[in-house]
């Protein structure tokens, strides 16, 4: 008997060249009736149906695909053990840790109340070394003076994907309390807070202001994680900041394709494959690469789309609106499509 779902935790780097040519991985799973069946998970996620499928290949913090069981029993809540690591033009590569309720940690840092605060939040199994951090950090510090804070929530983001999802709310709430304390104690403004979340991190930043009733100036969701976020109250939505922008690059697979933000950008149709990508992991991570390029060069001109179908099929010819960049005063509602090149700076 053949079924399109199933899988085991084997990553592509452990496969032989011949295995990589196969459409998927097969194994035998024993059902309750006692007789095993062979089930296969295609490496291109062509089996995946959002809200239905049990298994999906998702990239870890190093963008290496891992097979995720979306029905795996979640582990107990770990609680937020966040680390807040500050980068500025004076320390662009060597972080200074800011500690909640530790005034000396801020006084002894390069934090400047007159500069905007940009917080970067990685996704599932990520950490301070995840590629999204240097991409976005370096781009921001190239174009201006910012307090760039990389949130390291690796303890809560690690382990099973289903467990990491349970930690999203607490992690975002704790980030919100930290930022409120930082701004109240050392100066700054919520209007000058820009939260940049990649994949699962996009839903973390969604929860920053909800409990403390604050609205950051801007949220940028970089291919917000899709699996298990349909009708999830912790998911990113249009009310989470004064301006909420999303960028879909692997929509309908690892990312959300539906327009959940005020401005929703669909580069190259918003789905896999993105130009130059041969895997969903590449298309998913293309979101932060495109965003970093948009900060540095600010030349991705989106055109408004009449419908989601037009966005997917790249038939958008309406009003122009720039995708990405670092502008805290951006405001626009709608769907926007554009085409990019296959390699940096796209």
Among candidate residues 199, 279, 281, 283, the one labeled active-site is: 199
> Rounded distance, CA 195 to CA 173, Å?
13
Active-site pick, 122, 240, 284, 310: 284
Catalytic residue (one of 60, 170, 223, 250): 223
d(CA 161, CA 173): 19
What secondary structure letter does DSSP report for 311?
Answer: H
DSSP character at residue 161:
H
- Residues with Cβ within 8 Å of residue 144, at least 6 apart in sequence: 116, 326
Give the Cα separation of 264 and 177 in Å (integer).
Answer: 28
Buried b (16+ CB within 10 A) or exposed e, 304-338: bbeebebbbebebeeeebbbbbbebebeeebbbbb
Distance CA 119, CA 83 (A): 12
What residues have CB less than 8 Å from 25, skipping those under 6 apart? 7, 8, 10, 19, 40, 41, 43, 67
| Dihedral pair phi/psi, residue 34, rounded to 5° | 105, -20
Q: Is 217 left (phi over 0), alpha (psi -120 to 50) or beta?
A: alpha
User: Could you confirm whether 223 is annotated as catalytic?
Assistant: yes
Report how far residue 42's alpha carbon sits from residue 127's, in angstroms, rounded to the nearest whole number: 28
Q: Which residues contact 88 (CB under 8 A, 6 or more apart)?
A: 110, 111, 112, 115, 141, 145, 146, 147, 148
Pairing relationship of beta strands 263-267 and 117-121 according to DSSP bridges: unpaired
Task: State both tokens at 243.
Answer: 């301006």
- 284: annotated active-site residue: yes
Q: What residues form DSSP beta bridges with 38? A: 2, 28
* Residues annotated catalytic, as ranges: 199, 223, 284
């Amino acid at each position: 008997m053949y079924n399109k779902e199933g899988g085991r935790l084997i990553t592509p780097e452990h496969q032989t060249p011949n295995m990589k040519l196969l459409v998927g991985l097969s194994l035998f799973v024993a059902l309750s009736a006692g007789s095993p069946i062979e089930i296969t998970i295609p490496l291109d996620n062509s089996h995946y149906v959002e809200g239905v499928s049990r298994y999906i290949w998702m990239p870890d913090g190093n963008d290496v695909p891992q097979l995720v069981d979306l029905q795996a029993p979640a582990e107990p809540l770990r609680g937020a053990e966040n680390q807040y690591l500050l980068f500025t033009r004076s320390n662009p590569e060597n972080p200074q840790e800011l500690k909640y309720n530790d005034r000396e940690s801020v006084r002894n840092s390069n934090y400047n109340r007159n500069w905007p605060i940009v917080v970067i939040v990685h996704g599932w199994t990520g950490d301070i070394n995840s590629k999204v951090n240097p991409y976005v950090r370096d781009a921001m510090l190239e174009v201006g003076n910012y307090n760039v804070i990389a949130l390291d929530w690796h303890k809560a983001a690690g382990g099973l994907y289903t467990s990491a999802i349970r930690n999203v709310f607490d992690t975002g709430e704790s980030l919100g309390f930290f930022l409120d304390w930082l701004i109240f104690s050392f100066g700054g403004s919520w209007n000058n807070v820009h939260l940049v979340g990649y994949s699962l991190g996009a839903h973390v930043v969604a929860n920053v202001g909800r409990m403390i009733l604050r609205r950051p100036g801007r949220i940028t969701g970089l291919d917000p994680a899709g699996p298990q976020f349909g009708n999830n109250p912790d998911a990113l939505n249009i009310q989470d900041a004064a301006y909420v922008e999303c960028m879909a690059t692997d929509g309908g697979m690892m990312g959300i394709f539906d327009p959940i933000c005020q401005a929703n950008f669909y580069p190259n149709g918003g789905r896999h494959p993105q130009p130059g990508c041969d895997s969903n992991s590449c298309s998913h991570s293309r979101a932060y690469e495109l965003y970093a390029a948009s900060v540095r060069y600010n030349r991705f001109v989106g055109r408004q789309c009449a419908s989601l179908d037009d966005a997917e099929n790249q038939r958008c010819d309406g009003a122009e609106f720039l995708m990405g960049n670092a502008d805290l005063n951006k405001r626009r509602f709608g769907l926007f499509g554009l085409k990019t090149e296959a390699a940096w700076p796209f």
